[in-house]
């Protein structure tokens, strides 16, 4: 964020709002200079999960302001009581949505520095151009083990039935 001279404005997650983002807080904090909102669900460390209706409300807020919606969903398969709702599953096709996933949590690959984004095609082309000089590719052990015995789920897709 600092590289791009951006400023991060935190929003509260309090008991009075069930530890979920409150649209009124986002309305209050967003300015004409706001470019994106970041929502983490399932949330670390609280474990709260964005309900479908709230995901739709927050997306509508982002849409109405022309904001990018960055959905950190790296805990997508690690929930307790509430089922995880992917923000992408309630998004409109034209939404400016960046969904973030990591292999750190679901595949216990913390430190391997591997994950992926789901983004609109035009942003994908831009990000591909950006990541090549910065990251280039994942580290060698991570490349060797993708789909291999250390990460059986990756070979045939995700989820308990895919290994």
Ligand X SMILES: Cc1ncc(COP(=O)(O)O)c(C=O)c1O
By CB under 6 A, name the binding residues for ligand X: 40, 44, 72, 74, 102, 104, 110, 115
Least gap, CB of 100 to ligand X (angstroms) = 7
Closer to ligand X by Cβ: residue 27 or 116: 116
Closer to ligand X by Cβ: residue 40 or 48: 40
Least gap, CB of 39 to ligand X (angstroms) = 10
Least gap, CB of 12 to ligand X (angstroms) = 17
CA distances from 34 to 37, 62, 87, 111, 156 (A): 8, 10, 20, 31, 40
Least gap, CB of 112 to ligand X (angstroms) = 8
Closer to ligand X by Cβ: residue 63 or 145: 145
Contact yes or no for 40/10 (Cβ under 8 A): no
CA distances from 42 to 30, 38, 54, 123 (A): 23, 13, 13, 24
Cite the beta strand spans of the chain per DSSP E. 36-40, 68-72, 97-102, 115-118
Closer to ligand X by Cβ: residue 13 or 60: 13
């Amino acid at each position: 964020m600092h590289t791009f001279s951006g400023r991060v404005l935190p929003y509260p997650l309090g008991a009075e709002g069930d530890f979920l983002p409150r649209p009124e807080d986002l309305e209050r904090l967003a300015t004409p200079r706001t470019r994106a909102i970041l929502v983490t669900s399932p949330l670390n460390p609280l474990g709260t999960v964005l309900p479908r209706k709230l995901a739709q409300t927050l997306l509508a807020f982002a849409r109405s302001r022309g904001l990018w919606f960055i959905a950190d969903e790296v805990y997508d398969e690690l929930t307790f009581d509430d089922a995880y709702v992917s923000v992408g599953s309630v998004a409109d096709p034209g939404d400016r949505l960046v969904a973030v996933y990591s292999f750190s949590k679901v595949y216990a690959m913390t430190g391997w520095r591997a994950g992926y984004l789901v983004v609109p095609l035009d942003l994908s082309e831009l990000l591909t151009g950006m990541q090549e000089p910065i990251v280039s590719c994942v580290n060698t052990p991570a490349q060797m083990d993708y789909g291999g015995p250390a990460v059986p789920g990756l070979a045939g897709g995700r989820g308990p039935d895919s290994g």
